[in-house]
Structure 1
Amino acid sequence: MSEITLKSKKTKNNKIVIRKTPNADSRTKKDNCTREEVHEDTLQHIKDVQLGMNWLSTKVAQAGMLHDHTKIISDEYIDLVMNDLKDEAFLSTDWWFKHIHEERHHLNDNCPVDVTLIDVLEMITDCVMAGKGRKGHINSNTLKLIDPTLLERAYWNTVKLLDEKVIVK
């Protein structure tokens, strides 16, 4: 049996490179394949999933690092908070408009056409952390999704995002 390398192989275009693994499944295995080939393709498939999951986890971490960056690039947000702007007065500001159009996680206010599960995870995390950190409990109203098709669209956009990242050699 040949050795499986667990290093990530990427092309110049920063793609995830995987190899064909038809023998990892009875529906696609070639005729007369050996047990070693099944084992090798299964190990390779596991490695390929790890590469994909690592890439997705990096995207989630990047979303976390960039979270609410529009609150700290100027004094606008702090001024709004210090001036006690609330509700409609807050939501009608230029800053709010900019915030929901530059940040991807306000899915009920301005859902990106290419919304992904990464955006959904950021919204969930934002709502939980804001609720717990500000009031000591989660406000379930902030977690309600207005658009019932949003999760399905996020699912398929995430599939597309990962599909475009992967090259089979």
Structure 2
Amino acid sequence: MPMTTAISPEPSRVTAPISDFDPYAEDVLNNPYPHYEVLRELGPIVYLQRYGAYAIARHEEIDAVLRDHVTYCSSAGVGLANFHTEDPWRKPSLILEADPPMHGRTRKVVAGLLAPASINKLRATFEREAELLVDRVLDMGHLDAMPELCAAYPLKVFGDAVGVPAQN
């Protein structure tokens, strides 16, 4: 993972190692842990030149970012896209891409549903719905994973769990 140290071209003027690390490369996706270790060794913050974004991989810094909603906002998106300056590629999450106080209110509403005891009661239903969804996709003979699996499954099982009727 080649690296140099420079002042970032970003307005914040953070001095950080610059890396060509690609967290979306196939070898990283197949086994991310050795790559994360290298990223941690580079420093507390690393500028990913390929994406024009900063990365942090150490627990202490991640914890600080997650606790500081004033400096770091989630509502702009938690990936590479900035939902404040460009059109989101998907609808923002009500929990993940929400800042206080909205995050806390939303989290409180769904906390009971997501508690281990609640999820365990729904396990058989979740498994049955997953099997039915896979059967439907196999019958179609093709797959667009985002709408047909990644969006369809949680909308179905969590919608059913909280009594929200499915849209047809």
The structure whose residues are more often strand, as a share, is 2
TM-score between the two structures when normalised by the length of structure 1: 0.26
Greater Rg by CA: 1
TM-score between the two structures when normalised by the length of structure 2: 0.26
RCO greater where, 1 or 2, for CA within 8 Å and sep 6 or more? 1
